[in-house]
């Protein structure tokens, strides 16, 4: 299925392999056993499109989804009428009718939110379900450990249907905070006995000791991102981003390329000028030269075309990016050809590192101007 811009008119194309995404989810589900596995589809399924990703996962057996915002929850509900949908980012009272009507479950993460929820539910016979987020070391969302233990001890309180916490350093397996968080969660779990509990994000699934919890919550690894730093990525690549080559020109030795004249040519250089830029989420910090980020100049991005990797040349601009294709055989590429910016040959996380960031940010920055293709076999 294809969406987005008309392929005849678009500057770039984004190919999303839903079979690979499902295979990744299945691998994570296997690794999570005996826990069940949900899917985190916030930020429009990490930029890939809730309306495509959620039905594919539902078909594969995923029954629980997490989003950041209720607005995103509605989009999940529209394509998965029977799913359990948790909304991570807190709760405001004016949203209650929407939660009720669309059967969304808030993840409450402060005493204020718990009080608010209690007062809104006080007169109801059929109490609305909620999840409780406990902070065990991240200092982002969640009640404190002590608050949670006090909440559990007070019998007047309604019980959450899910108890969860979030790991701050799961991608770094050696970090001492992991064990501290897991131990705190262990204590909590004893206080909330009989209640489903959830701790592992993508990297957490690869830790020993977190599989015993009932529900894992992978995001990035499903989408092909590295679940931990260092070591080979065990996930299949899901997303391929390609841009069209608009023209091929020759710059002469001694000339410069692009804004700021930051790239000076040390040789006569064939330049492929491609229809992609930072307005499309191809981040300016991946420029081959001259864009310092926090004091360092990053190596810059690489494209892949005609069987070879080629470096970004000069600054990435809003709509155009140049690559040095001098080392390719003459006539290997032509205007209209596509150059891969990340995918099978340029791993997502390598492209991200070249821009000083992480795969999550590249995916969620993907622009709206691409032609989008979703690959899916009939069998799943």
Ligand X SMILES: *Cc1c(COP(=O)(O)O)cnc(C)c1O
Site string for ligand X, 140-169 (x = CB under 6 A): --------------------------x---
Q: Indicate if 42 belongs to the active site.
A: yes
* Contact between residue 339 and residue 245 where contact means Cβ atoms under 8 Å apart: yes
Question: Which residue number, 132 or 320, has a Cβ lying nearer to ligand X?
Answer: 132
Q: Indicate if 187 belongs to the active site.
A: no
Site string for ligand X, 89-128 (x = CB under 6 A): ----------------------------------------
* Contact between residue 10 and residue 4 where contact means Cβ atoms under 8 Å apart: yes
Stretch that binds ligand X, among 10-18, 219-227, 265-273, 284-292 (CB under 6 A): 219-227
- Least distance between ligand X and beta carbon 87 (Å): 11
Per CB under 6 A, 31 contacts ligand X: no
Helix and strand element counts for the chain (H, E) = 11, 22
Q: Terminal CA-to-CA distance of the chain, rounded, Å? A: 15
- Least distance between ligand X and beta carbon 43 (Å): 9
| Residue pointed to by tokens 């009080």 | 115
* Rg, Å, the chain Cα set: 24
Stretch that binds ligand X, among 218-226, 257-265, 301-309, 313-321 (CB under 6 A): 218-226
Alpha-carbon torsion 213, 217, 218, 220, what sign?
negative
- List 219, 251, 343, 359, residue binding ligand X (CB under 6 A): 219
Per CB under 6 A, 24 contacts ligand X: no
* Contact between residue 138 and residue 170 where contact means Cβ atoms under 8 Å apart: no
Per CB under 6 A, 224 contacts ligand X: no
Closest C-alpha among 296, 295, 303 to residue 321:
303
C-alpha distances out from residue 122 to 94, 152, 153, Å:
16, 18, 19
- The 3-state DSSP class for residue 265 equals coil
Tokens at residue 275, please? 């229809």
Question: Which residue number, 142 or 303, has a Cβ lying nearer to ligand X?
Answer: 142
Query: Which parts of 321-350 interact with ligand X (CB under 6 A)?
Result: none
If one counts every other C-beta atom within 10 angstroms of the C-beta of residue 103, the result is 15
| Residue of this chain nearest to ligand X (CB atom) | 219
- State yes or no: 318 annotated in a binding site: yes
Closest C-alpha among 59, 27, 26, 53 to residue 40:
53
Per CB under 6 A, 67 contacts ligand X: no
Query: Of 31, 42, 213, 360, which residue is the catalytic one?
Result: 42
Stretch that binds ligand X, among 5-13, 97-105, 116-124, 213-221 (CB under 6 A): 213-221
Distance in angstroms (rounded) separating the CA atoms of residues 281 and 241: 11
- Least distance between ligand X and beta carbon 210 (Å): 12
Stretch that binds ligand X, among 110-118, 212-220, 243-251, 320-328 (CB under 6 A): 212-220
Per CB under 6 A, 218 contacts ligand X: yes
- List 13, 217, 353, 371, residue binding ligand X (CB under 6 A): 217
Per CB under 6 A, 201 contacts ligand X: yes
Tokens at residue 203, please? 């990297």
DSSP assigned state of 134: B
* Contact between residue 112 and residue 104 where contact means Cβ atoms under 8 Å apart: no
Starting at the earlier edge strand, list the strands of the sheet with 39-40: 36-37, 215-216, 196-198, 162-164, 131-133, 104-108, 84-87, 64-67, 39-40
- Least distance between ligand X and beta carbon 86 (Å): 9
- The 3-state DSSP class for residue 93 equals helix
Per CB under 6 A, 215 contacts ligand X: no
Q: Which residue numbers belong to the known binding site for substrate?
A: 140, 318
Tell me which residues are annotated as active site.
42, 259
Instruction: Mark the binding-site residues, compressed into ranges.
Output: 140, 318
Which residues would be at the binding site for ligand X (CB under 6 A)? Answer: 40, 42, 88, 166, 201-202, 217-221
């Amino acid at each position: 299925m294809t969406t987005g811009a008309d392929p005849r008119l678009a500057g770039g194309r984004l190919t999303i392999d839903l079979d690979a995404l499902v295979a990744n989810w299945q691998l994570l589900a296997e690794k999570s056993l005996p826990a069940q596995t949900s899917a985190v589809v916030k930020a429009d399924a990490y930029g890939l499109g809730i309306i495509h990703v959620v039905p594919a996962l539902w078909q594969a057996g995923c029954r629980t989804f997490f989003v950041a915002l209720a607005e995103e929850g509605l989009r999940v509900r529209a394509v998965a009428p029977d799913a359990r949908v948790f909304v991570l980012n807190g709760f405001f009272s004016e949203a209650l009718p929407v939660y009720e009507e669309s059967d969304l479950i808030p993840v409450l993460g402060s005493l204020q939110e718990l009080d608010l929820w209690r007062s809104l539910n006080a007169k109801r016979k059929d109490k609305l379900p909620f999840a409780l987020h406990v902070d065990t070391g991240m200092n982002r969302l969640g009640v404190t450990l002590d608050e949670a233990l006090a909440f559990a001890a007070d019998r007047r309180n309604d019980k959450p249907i899910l108890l969860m916490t979030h790991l701050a350093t799961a991608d770094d397996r050696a970090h001492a905070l992991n064990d501290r968080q897991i131990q705190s969660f262990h204590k909590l779990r004893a206080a909330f006995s009989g209640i489903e509990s959830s701790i592992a994000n993508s990297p957490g699934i690869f830790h020993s000791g977190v599989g015993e919890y009932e529900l894992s919550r992978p995001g990035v690894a499903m989408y092909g991102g590295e679940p931990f730093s260092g070591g080979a990525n065990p996930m299949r690549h899901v997303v391929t981003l390609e841009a069209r080559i608009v023209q091929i020109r020759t710059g002469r030795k001694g000339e410069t390329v692009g804004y700021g004249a930051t790239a000076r040519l040390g040789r006569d250089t064939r330049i492929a000028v491609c229809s992609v830029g930072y307005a499309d989420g191809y981040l300016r910090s991946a420029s081959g030269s001259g864009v310092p980020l926090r004091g360092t100049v990053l190596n810059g991005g690489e494209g892949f075309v005609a069987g070879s990797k080629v470096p970004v040349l000069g600054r990435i601009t809003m709509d155009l990016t140049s690559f040095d294709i001098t080392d390719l055989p003459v006539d290997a590429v032509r205007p209209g050809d596509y150059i891969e910016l990340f995918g099978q040959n340029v791993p997502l996380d390598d492209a991200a590192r070249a821009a000083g960031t992480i795969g999550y940010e590249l995916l969620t920055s993907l622009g709206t101007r691409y032609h989008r293709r979703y690959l899916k076999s009939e069998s799943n």
